[in-house]
Amino acid sequence: MSRSHGTGLAPWHFKSLGAETVFEHGVLVFHPENISIGSNVYVGHYAILKGYYKGSMEFGDGVWIGQQCFFHSAGDIRIGNNVGIGPGVKILTSSHSLEPMIKQAILHQPIEFAPVVIEEGCDLGVNSVVLPGVHLGPLVQVAAGAVVTRSFSARTIIAGVPAREIGQI
């Protein structure tokens, strides 16, 4: 049984929803029919799970999502088991094309999609941003405020804008 300390969401709206999942007050969910959530997942106050009419969002078991996070899954988001996601983290899977010699506002350019995969045991620090196409291997530590523009292998510690390797676990 899922529960909420706040307003809650009907479990039958999701593609799947595991036991003991908590949605805090103010969580917003769009297109829950494309969202799968494992067991023992925590979603903090005012987080936004922005599902899309296509694409999917998948959270493994034991995921912790901090307050005021924003996830947009137009290009697919897959988060493995036991991932910690600090408050204010943003995960994006789409961007506007920047074709050479554009003749219109960027806002009206075609949208490109790329999946984000965050494997088991990773930790995303407060206010970090993960951009489209990033794949983080198991146990990657992302520092607070980092902007992750490319993929990193297992057990890497990354920080900065753009994020770069600063160590190994």
In this predicted model, what pLDDT tens digit does every residue of 101-111 receive, in sequence order? Answer: 788 888 888 89
Neighbours of 107 (CB within 10 A): 6
- Structural domain contains residue 12: yes
Evaluate whether residue 71 is within a structural domain. yes
- Give the model's pLDDT for residue 99: 79
Assigned domain for 132 exists: yes
Does any domain span residue 70? yes
Count of domains in the chain?
1
pLDDT, tens digit (0-9, with 9 covering 90-100), for 57-88: 999 999 999 999 999 999 999 999 999 999 99
* Length of the chain as a residue count: 169
Question: Global pTM?
Answer: 0.92
Give me the domain span that covers residue 73: 3-95+106-168
In a domain, 100, yes or no: no
Q: What is the CATH number of the domain that holds 40?
A: 2.160.10.10
Let me know if residue 41 belongs to a domain.
yes
